[in-house]
């Protein structure tokens, strides 16, 4: 298998793991879903966990690139981009294949904090927190780290609500709460518009 075949395997495995979970998906299932033999898989990934780590790295890159781009497309100011996160989430929730957060699933299936898969899932959340903190700082928040944490809690809650309650309103509700938090956290006159 050439490198592009390896990348194709990771992309296909991402789809299967996202749809069916990590522990529930054995190597036989991956062989059937991807059309790649076990021998070929093990040429690139010594273990199933190595493949899962590669899948999580790809998902992290894809998701953050998409989210940050959508936030920038939807709003010009840092405060507006923080609020636009929830509009982007609403778009994601409406997709046919939406099944929640792959990183929360990974953290739940591999709960030991020292486990590499748990650590990879945690790293995704840390990178999001760093980005939100930078936006909050640029927006002039008095406590940017706190604001970032609060908005990320709303983001995570909206994802869970969208999955468990089949809630098309989850992103709108979270955005309304985010607007209140932003209004309290930013200097007067620097708040993004509601809507």
Residue 129 is part of which domain span? 52-185
Q: Give the CATH number for residue 154.
A: 1.10.357.10
Total tally of structural domains belonging to the chain: 1
Q: Considering the domain boundaries, does residue 163 fall inside one?
A: yes
| CA distances in angstroms from 20 to 25, 26, 41, 123, listed in the order given | 6, 10, 19, 22
C-alpha to C-alpha distance for 23 and 42, rounded to whole angstroms: 18
Write out the H or E segment, with its range, that includes residue 21: none
Rounded to whole angstroms, how far apart are CA atoms 195 and 83? 10
Render each residue's pLDDT in the chain as its tens digit; 195 residues: 445 788 889 999 999 999 999 999 988 888 888 888 888 888 889 999 999 999 999 999 999 999 999 999 999 999 999 999 999 999 999 999 999 999 999 999 999 999 999 999 999 999 999 999 999 999 999 999 999 999 999 999 999 999 999 677 999 999 999 999 999 999 875 556 544
Pull the structure tokens for residue 126: 């840390």
Q: Is the dihedral of CA 152, 129, 94, 76 positive or negative?
A: positive
| pTM assigned to the model | 0.90
């Amino acid at each position: 298998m050439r490198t592009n075949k390896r990348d194709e395997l990771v992309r296909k495995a991402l789809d299967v793991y996202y749809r069916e979970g990590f522990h529930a998906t054995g190597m036989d299932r991956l062989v059937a879903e991807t059309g790649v033999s076990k021998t070929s898989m093990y040429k690139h990934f010594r273990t199933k966990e190595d493949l899962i780590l590669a899948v999580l790295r790809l998902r992290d890159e894809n998701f953050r690139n998409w989210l940050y781009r959508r936030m920038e497309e939807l709003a010009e100011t840092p405060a507006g981009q923080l609020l636009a996160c929830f509009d982007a989430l609403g778009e994601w929730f409406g997709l046919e294949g939406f099944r929640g957060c792959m990183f929360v699933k990974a953290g739940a299936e591999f709960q030991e904090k020292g486990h590499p898969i748990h650590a990879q899932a945690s790293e995704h959340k840390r990178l999001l927190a760093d980005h939100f903190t930078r936006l909050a700082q640029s927006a002039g928040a008095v406590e940017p780290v706190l604001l970032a944490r609060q908005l990320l809690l709303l983001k995570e809650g909206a994802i869970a609500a969208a999955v468990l309650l089949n809630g098309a309103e989850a992103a709108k509700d979270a955005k309304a709460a985010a607007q209140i938090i932003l209004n309290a956290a930013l200097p007067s006159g620097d708040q993004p518009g509601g809507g």
